[in-house]
Structure formats: C-alpha cells, structure tokens
Amino acid sequence: MAAGFAIARQDIRAFSAGLMEHIAAQSAACRPVSELIVDAEIPWGEVGLDLARELARLAPYGPGNPEPVLAARAGTLVRFEDVSRKRETDHRRMFVNSDLGESVRITWFNAKTLPQTGESIDVALHVGVRWQRGEERLDLTLVDWRPAAERLRVEVADLVAGREIVDWRTRSDRDALLAELQSRHGTHHAVWAEGLDVASEDWVSRVDLRAREVSALAILTPPPEPAVLGQALRDTAARLVYLLPPLTPADVSPARFVWRVAGMVRVSLSAHGGYLDTGRMAARLGARQSAVIAALQGLQAAGKINLERDGSGLVARAPTDSVAGGCNRKVEAAAMDPEQRVAVESARAALAFLLAETAAYRRFYVSAALADLFGASHP
C-alpha cells in the first residue's frame, strides 16, 4: 500500500504530468460509489468515550481491517467553523445537537457541501480517542451526511449471544443477497439449506458444516428445531450469521415422509449393508433426526424392516431375503396382531407430532426476534 523510488530532479515535472494523465485515464473507467456501507447504527446517547475506547481495541486499522463506520440519525446542525483560527482551510468542525439535547463536535476533513444551520441530518462517523495535553478526548470524524428525511441505507449487525447477526429475512432480493455474500466472503462463507426440491451445489447441509471452517454462515432454510440451529452454530464457530429471506421446504404428510425414508433404507440395504446414518438422512430431508427414527420405527412395527444396533450405530435388515420385499411389500392392517397395530399407530402419531412441531418452529423462525432465536436460553 506504499512505495518509494528515486527520480532525477529534472524529470519531476514530466513524471508528474505523466502520472496525472494516467490517473485521469484510470478514473474515467471507475464506477462512482453510490452507497456507503455502515457497520452499525447507534443512538446519540452511545456516542461517547466508552464506545470510543471499545472500538480502539479493534485497531490498528488498515487494509483488511477498515475502521468501523457508525451511523447516528436526526441530529440538528447548530453551527460549523474552520478547524484553524489562523488561516482558511478545507476542514470544518460541525457542532450537532443530538436528540438528547446535547451537543457533539464532529471534524470533517476536506469538507464538501455543508448542511444548513438548523437542518436535521443523519451522519456516518468514525468514533475514536485522541489525547490533548495529557487528557483523553472523544474524537468524531465525519464520513458523510445527508438530510434526515432521506433515510440512510444502513446494514445493521445485531450482537446476540456473542455473534453478529445480519437479519435479511424480510428482504425480497434473495438472489442478489446470495451474490453479495459471494462477493463479500468468497469461500469463507457457507449457505446452509436443506430439504428443498431444487438445490445448488454451493449449498451445504448441517452434516457438511462440520467440516467447514467459515467466518460467516448464511441460513437459507429455516432449521427444523432449535437444537439443530444450535449445533450448526457450534459446528461452524462462525461469529457472523446472515439470515437470508427464508426458503422453506414444503410440508409433507407423515405417509410421504415415511415413503422418503423407506427409499433411503432401500439404498442402504442394497449398497451399504443396511447401515443407517440417521443424522445425514435428517439433513437430506431437512427434518429432525427424531422424525427419521420415528419413521424407521414405524417401518419396523409394520414388519417392513428389522432394526439392530451395533458399534457403528443403527442397522436395517430385510425381514426376507428379498431387499425389495423388505420395504415395498404392503402389510395389510387386518393381518397385524393387536400389539403390532398399536406399535404402528404409536409410531405414526409420534411422527405426525414431530412434523407438526417442525412446521410450527419454521413459522416462528420467519418473524421471531433475534434474541428469541439466538439468545442464551437456546443451544
């Protein structure tokens, strides 16, 4: 970000002219920046030394660690003055009354169009600490301003339970947000999505998250339960979480759910010796692991499979030598003995309850307060 070189004195003028010509050509090709990205919006009451000291812990600032930009709304410009009392400069001090009636001083280097005295303005600031005659002072530097009537486009990251949460659930531009995440974080982010009929190879399930070291996690499909959300957060250790506009899997009936689980069992019987990874099955379905187990218990109660446990976990066995017969053969209710019929109905009732609980949690997820989703009371 810096360079040094030597040049003969007589070449300085030609070098300067050539450099300015090159810069002008480069500038003509640059797109103007129309939006200012703000890291957080703060009330005027928090603009003070305590906040400045906390932010100072993030220093040193530079490439890869830019100084945070904070926004405060609807302050009233009282007056402004030149920073120098001896000569005219391009720098100004702005004195702004907050909504609490207190006045703050903000330095604006290379000031451009100034607001009118008495105007209500939103400001974007750097908040720091400076020392003057051995005394610690608040140092506010203006990044930009606009009339308060024009609402700033601020992207606010809420700090909840030690994580920064960016809430985009109410946005309608899902594809644009996915592209924005790729631009911002590249391979250092993961998009978590499960149970969808149409998926992308760039999306991952809860199982895949265990092997990913990412700094940002974007949640696309509402999790099936709080425990799954909590485990996903622990698996990634991501400190920045984006809540994308939810793409919710379609609700399925218990019968349809059992049919899908049975299909996975058939594959396991034919290709994997009957070994069942219920966690991976649940991730593929976007379901609770307990729902998968309930479906398996229903299949066993109906006589379609036998379940065993060994050191590796759960294993399915076909009740006959025919793999197809184990999962495809219909068992008529009339052929069941009373005990078997009770077991089947019990498994179906348990599955229906778990699927209903998942549907209810996903409805809750769409509009729940962040503290309720990520608070200390949740895993």
DSSP labels, 259-322? HHHHHHHHHHHHHSTTEE-HHHHHHHHT--HHHHHHHHHHHHHTTS-EEEEETTEEEEE-SSS-
pLDDT (tens digit per residue) in 254-293: 999 999 999 999 999 999 999 999 999 999 999 999 999 9
Q: How high is the pLDDT of residue 269?
A: 92
CA distance 193 to 174: 13
Residue 258: helix, strand or coil by DSSP?
A: helix
Q: Do domains 40-147 and 254-357 have the same CATH topology?
A: no
Say which residues have a Cβ less than 8 Å from residue 343's Cβ, sequence separation at least 6: 297, 301
| CATH top class, domain 254-357 | mainly alpha
Which neighbouring-strand residues pair with 164?
159, 240
List the Cα angle 3/6/11 in 5-degree steps: 120
Contact 368, 304 (CB under 8 A): no
pTM above 0.75?
Answer: no
Tell me which CATH code domain 157-249 carries: 3.40.250
For residue 246, is the peptide bond before it cis, meaning its omega torsion is within 30 degrees of 0? no
DSSP labels, 23-55? HHHHHHHSPPP-----SEE--GGG-SHHHHHHH
Sheet with strand 306-310: strands edge to edge: 275-276, 313-317, 306-310
| CATH top class, domain 40-147 | mainly beta
What sign does the dihedral 55-239-152-113 (CA atoms) show? positive
Q: List the one residue out of 201, 227, 230, 226 whose CA is nearest residue 217.
A: 230
What is the identity of the amino acid at 134? Answer: G
Domain parsing of the chain, residue ranges? 40-147, 157-249, 254-357
Q: How high is the pLDDT of residue 379?
A: 46
Sheet with strand 157-160: strands edge to edge: 157-160, 163-167, 240-243, 216-219, 189-192, 203-204
Contact 314, 274 (CB under 8 A): no
Rama region for 313: left / alpha / beta (φ>0; ψ in -120 to 50; rest): left
What is the identity of the amino acid at 349? Answer: A
Q: How high is the pLDDT of residue 201?
A: 84
Low-confidence ranges of the chain (pLDDT < 70): 1, 28-34, 99-100, 149-159, 320-335, 376-379
Q: How high is the pLDDT of residue 29?
A: 63
Contact 37, 183 (CB under 8 A): no
List the Cα angle 232/238/240 in 5-degree steps: 120
